[in-house]
Amino acid sequence: MSRKNFEDFVDEIKEIISEFIKLYNLLERDEKACYGVTVQQCCTLLAFEKKGRMTMNELSAELGLSSSTMTRNVDILVRRGYLERVRDDNDRRLVFVQLTEPGKELTAKLQQCECDFFAEALRTIPESEWENVASSLKLLLEALKAKGCCQ
């Protein structure tokens, strides 16, 4: 591939990813809004489903958000009854955040919403291409993780 073609390819991939992110955020925001949570709050709740209880530092690292942003986000979800703060039995200085029963119920609905969203999109792609889509996305994701941003 010539340098010009490679630069065109880079531009095309960048444009596709930008459109993908924009579309995903818009569609997901609309879907999640019916449950009264923002996309960021949804990601927070889903992180607990995946990891279980976490400290605020662990949660911030998991979602790549600052501690102050994470604290505001968690405070809202605690007030709404979806999360709770719990002190560690062995070390009272340690505070964990975890899902409440209503939080678990909402998280199950949010997970189903995500599954429905992706299933609907995949149904428009021929089944013979599903593996190609998945392997291409995995390959790109690994390349992006390895490089990082603006290095």
Tens digits of residue pLDDT in 117-130: 889 989 999 999 99
Give the list of residues 6+ apart from residue 117 with CB closer than 8 angstroms, or none: 27, 28, 31
**What whole-number distance in Å separates Cα of residue 108 and Cα of residue 45?**
10
Q: pLDDT tens-digit profile of 57-113? A: 999 999 999 999 999 999 999 999 999 999 988 888 899 999 999 999 999 998 898
Q: How confident is the model at residue 151 (pLDDT cuts 50, 70, 90)?
A: low
Average pLDDT of the residues in 11-23: 88
- Give me the chain's average pLDDT, please: 88
What is the tens place of the pLDDT at every residue in 19-55? 888 877 776 666 556 688 888 888 899 999 888 999 9
SS (H, E, C) 35-50: CCCCHHHHHHHHHHHH
d(CA 133, CA 142): 14
Q: What is the pLDDT of residue 92?
A: 84
State both tokens at 88: 């560690």
Measure the CA–CA gap between 58 and 64, rounded to whole angstroms: 10
Residue with tokens 């809004």: 33
- Contacts with 125 (C-beta within 8 Å, 6 or more apart), sequence order: 133
Whether 35 and 109 have beta carbons less than 8 Å apart is answered as yes
pLDDT for the residue 116 = 87
For residue 111, what are the contacts with CB-CB under 8 A and spacing of at least 6? 46, 49
- The answer as to CATH 3.40.50.10190 being correct for domain 37-147 is no
Model confidence at 143: pLDDT above 90: no
Which residue matches tokens 């290095």?
A: 151
pLDDT for the residue 149: 64
At position 82, the amino acid (one-letter code) is Y
What pLDDT shows up at residue 40?
A: 85
Q: How far apart are CA 101 and CA 114, in angstroms?
A: 20
62 and 52 in contact (C-beta within 8 Å)? no
pLDDT at 74: 96
